[in-house]
Amino acid sequence: MATFLAFSLPLATLTLSLLLLFHSSAATPRKLIQVQQQPVILKYHKGPLLTGNITVNFLWYGRFSATQRSIVADFLLSLSAASPPPPPSAASWWRTTALYGGSFPRLSLGRQLLDDRLSLGKSLSPSHLSLLASKPGTSPADINVVLTSADVAVDGFCSSRCGTHGPLPGSAGFIWTGDSEVQCPGQCAWPFHQPLYGPQTPPLVAPNGDVGMDGVIINLATLLAGLVTNPNGNGYFQGPADAPLEAVSACTGIFGSGAYPGYPGLVLVDKTSGASYNARGLDGRKYLLPAMWDPKTSQCSTLV
């Protein structure tokens, strides 16, 4: 296990409640402990990064409505949109990855496969995830994403992780995350649900009206940024290679300026729905995206 402090303000010497992470290249649940603030410095370990044109394929495992699938597909398309909405936007958030070196990683939406009959059952192991990730086919410029529905249990889900990324032979890598609304929304869909631990502040209203899928967006964003900046375990990260803090996981819990443990920071609020967001997407979509470490400033950078 590794403890860390991530924030967007200059370093201070105060002792604050902070987040405990359990797993390496993973989007993780949050517990609050007392630790001394430490600088957020992601070291570059001289390995390759993912750059250029990248196709993202999806394997939907379990039952997802067309509306739920469109939330995720629209987010992916918003990251590298040719004509994005004005900042703050999902595209301006994703452009931070270009600061890590190399050419801008431009994502496009590829194949989408449905496995709503749960071909491997409702309880999945890591080997099951790798098998599912290979189903859309592999190509060196492809990232395959496995998304599991709310009724599917995955080893470590909720207890130690909200998702993960890893290698997949013949591809650029794979990502898994799941809908946590039923199993652990306080851990994997915060701040759209009260946290399991720590200050019980009121939850924010999910911008797409779906706590589980808006939580998926946060975790998918975390893992996409981690994968392109640390695809082989020798890119940008802090801490041990088997439990690294990456581009976004080093900034867990920060969504706006002034964030502190239990408070996501200053975000925008839709005047009609009351939903909280910090990024605009295509077709009027709104998303709440986590802070990303900026290698130019060595700080966790927020959109608002």
Pair 248, 168: CB distance under 8 Å: no
Query: With b meaning 16 or more CB within 10 Å and e meaning fewer, what string describes 12-51?
Result: eeeeeebbbbebbbbbbbbbbeeeebeebebeeeeeebbb
Cα gap 58→232, rounded to integer Å: 21
- Judging by beta carbons within 10 Å of its beta carbon (0-12, 13-18, 19+), is residue 283 exposed, middle or buried? exposed
Pair 33, 17: CB distance under 8 Å: yes
Quote the pLDDT of residue 197: 83
Pair 164, 222: CB distance under 8 Å: no
- Judging by beta carbons within 10 Å of its beta carbon (0-12, 13-18, 19+), is residue 1 exposed, middle or buried? exposed
Pair 37, 15: CB distance under 8 Å: yes
Cα gap 294→125, rounded to integer Å: 34
Quote the pLDDT of residue 28: 65
Cα gap 9→63, rounded to integer Å: 42
Quote the pLDDT of residue 39: 67
Cα gap 70→110, rounded to integer Å: 14
Token pair of 206 as six digits: 């999910």
Cα gap 119→215, rounded to integer Å: 25
Cα gap 223→21, rounded to integer Å: 14
Quote the pLDDT of residue 27: 80
Pair 55, 141: CB distance under 8 Å: yes
Quote the pLDDT of residue 144: 98
Pair 214, 192: CB distance under 8 Å: yes
Cα gap 45→36, rounded to integer Å: 26
Which residues of the chain carry a pLDDT beneath 50? 1-24, 30-37
Quote the pLDDT of residue 26: 74
Quote the pLDDT of residue 200: 86
Quote the pLDDT of residue 103: 82
Quote the pLDDT of residue 12: 30
